[in-house]
Amino acid sequence: MGDLVSDPELEASLRAPAMEKITDKIAALPANTDYFSLEFFPPKTAMGFSNLRDRLDRMARALHPLFVNVTWGAGGSTAQKSLELAELCQRELGLTTCLHLTCTNMSRKLIDKALDDAKALGIRNILALRGDPPRRAEYRDSDESEPETEDEEFVWAVDLVRYIRKTHGDYFCIGVAGYPEGHADESHPLGQCLERDLPYLVEKVQAGADFIMTQLFFDIKAYENFEEQLRAHPSGAFKSITIIPGLMPIQSYQMIKRTTKLSHAKIPETLLERLDAVKGDDERVKGVGVDIVSELVEQIREIKSRTSSGPKGFHFYTLNLEKAVSFIVERTNLIRPSAPEEGHEAFTNDDLPNIPSLQINGSVHNRAFPQDSARISSIGSDPRNKVIVVDRPASHPDYEATALQASVPAGPINTRANTLAISEGEGALGREATWDDFPNGRWGDARSPAYGQIDGYGVSLHVTVAQALQLWGTPRTDADINDIFIRHLRGELSAIPWSEEGFNPETDAIRDHLVKLNSKGWRTLASQPAVNGIKSSDPTFGWGPQNGFVFQKAFVELFMPSRDWKALKEKLDRLPEMKDVVCYFAINQAGDFSSSDEKEKKEDDGKEVDDAAEPSTNAVTWGVFPGKEIVTPTIIEEVSFRAWSEEAFGIWGEWAKVYGRGSESEKLLEGIKADSWLVNIIHHDFVDKDGLWKLLLDN
């Protein structure tokens, strides 16, 4: 007799789709039904992947998306991790999965392997994308022969659509990307233009695409124009094809500004004003973001009711976070109804006792619940159904409970309704599940599934070759590279390969120090000044809720020549006064790693003994606010530093590829990459605002 299957595995196997295509699932829905899908990217760290598995399981049970998307890194850079995540979704969690596949900078052999792997996993849905601009021509010098025909096959997404149809027939359901505001290819003289894009979209559909999924947008008028133009297009290609609008929950102000800049998606002025009004407080930004995206869902419903028939779909770019999207799909009634769990009946406001209103700071708050709620919580959750009392019996058992009673669950915790409450951050379990709800990109916690850059697409310059040449020219000496970094610091360049953004106002406080470091060939990537208890409302350093105080430790991250790092490390390790004041992490391209946390070898009776220190986790930004725990949005520690270093060194290589193989610029950049150490230095004395800079600039 074989091994018994555990309950979770059995549940997943019962949920597993019979290798369904997305279009078949949509066709099986009633005509007036709404549905939605969710998108995830492979986390950068093993801990992030493990936590995403739990998050996906929770969201699958609570939200019931029709399908999920898994992203694919540029040139196949995240191929293995993407396939592992797709396997988790499709096989273990039983979620119909759509695998992204980019075709440029990938050989036919890699494309074939990706499609075969998807087939082996039972995946029948592919989103065929172009990816980064083709690299072959830009990475070939004038003496090189033309590539073979087979290698020229994948230049545009339509080439991939045709190839999948030629090699796999109708086995795969194929989706393609649509751009409501026009595709942003600034090397084209017309720039963004929907009318210029449409012939290419017609080609993709006529080549065999089954559905269109749009890039994120916030301009509802642009989407309305997009849908109307497609439905009325004289080719007839879009008359009945499924068009799924892509929406991104707003997780933080800086994140959505960066995302819309990279994607060239416009935020209408009226929406931007609403975000600007709360931009210093991530929690309020997220709340306004939920309002904005929920409004977009309702507006899209109205547009689709005029332009098409059949089920209406919505795709959400989750950024591997769950709280905001859970609120949105519940508020907009996108969660497909299901029968109440056995032994648990749904309840509405009519079932609730008449709980007296509460008076907080002079304001009356009625504890009303959303209409038609199917939420069933345990007694032990936050005071949602009952008020917990201490040092006395419960005088009103209808709406009060003692601490002992509060510890007893009202029912199984894994009901769908309770799981939704957890995904929305309710109660102790909800707070634990959404602990990383306010990420700070690569400065967040490496355990978070959302850790790292926001797109999850791997190493990229985020600019075209023409833009790269216009921005950075053709550097030939170390001084040319230093000058590029310095010009960016002074606002003369809009971007460097590691950053597409300008600087925050706080950089003014340390700009002169940074210029001096870059003049030495210590090329800075990130930094911040020390801040000691400034009000959260301060226009330069403030953030978070009102009436709080914010703190910062000074730190700097930079590329440093190996000889300079050797000298600086000796200085940091030699000076006893630095032991408790400075923390550092350093790594080179080969993976050689050094940190102030390393084991110190000490002699004890002629034998070496390890005096091991626990790896440090350094909160370098924190805030103290009324009625809240201390908030620490910026963290630097070894796991996240190592994960980032792979991308940081990879960008040198991407920059080098802009120039011809064997060119002076390519040799220079590859040489710097090989000789540099990536170093992050933190100065713990946040009272001493000049301490870090004196240490680094003192000869």
Give catalytic residue positions.
39
Beta bridge mates, 593: 587
In our burial notation (b when 16+ CB lie closer than 10 A, e otherwise), range 518-542 reads beebbbbbbbbbbbeebebeeeebb
**Could you tell me if 124 and 20 are in contact, meaning their C-beta atoms sit under 8 angstroms apart?**
yes
The conformational region for residue 172 under phi > 0 = left, psi -120 to 50 = alpha, else beta, is beta
* Beta-strand pair 607-611/600-604: antiparallel
DSSP state of 356: P
For 491, residues 6+ apart whose C-beta sits below 8 A from its C-beta are 502, 503
Give the closest residue to 265 by CA, choosing from 317, 334, 211, 331: 317
**Could you tell me if 303 and 223 are in contact, meaning their C-beta atoms sit under 8 angstroms apart?**
yes
d(CA 466, CA 468): 5
Q: Using alpha carbons only, give the angle 53, 57, 61 rounded to the nearest 5 degrees.
A: 170
Give the closest residue to 318 by CA, choosing from 692, 56, 519, 25: 56
Measured between alpha carbons, how far is residue 568 from residues 553, 560, 666, 671 in Å? 20, 10, 28, 21
* Beta-strand pair 531-535/549-552: antiparallel
**Could you tell me if 677 and 587 are in contact, meaning their C-beta atoms sit under 8 angstroms apart?**
yes
Q: Using alpha carbons only, give the angle 434, 437, 442 rounded to the nearest 5 degrees.
A: 125
Give the closest residue to 444 by CA, choosing from 603, 605, 617: 617
**Could you tell me if 677 and 586 are in contact, meaning their C-beta atoms sit under 8 angstroms apart?**
yes
List phi, psi (to 5°) of 311: -60, 150
**Could you tell me if 140 and 660 are in contact, meaning their C-beta atoms sit under 8 angstroms apart?**
yes
For 383, residues 6+ apart whose C-beta sits below 8 A from its C-beta are none
The alpha carbon dihedral of 423, 427, 429, 431 has a sign of positive
Give the closest residue to 87 by CA, choosing from 74, 97, 72, 100: 97
d(CA 374, CA 262): 39
**Could you tell me if 58 and 31 are in contact, meaning their C-beta atoms sit under 8 angstroms apart?**
no
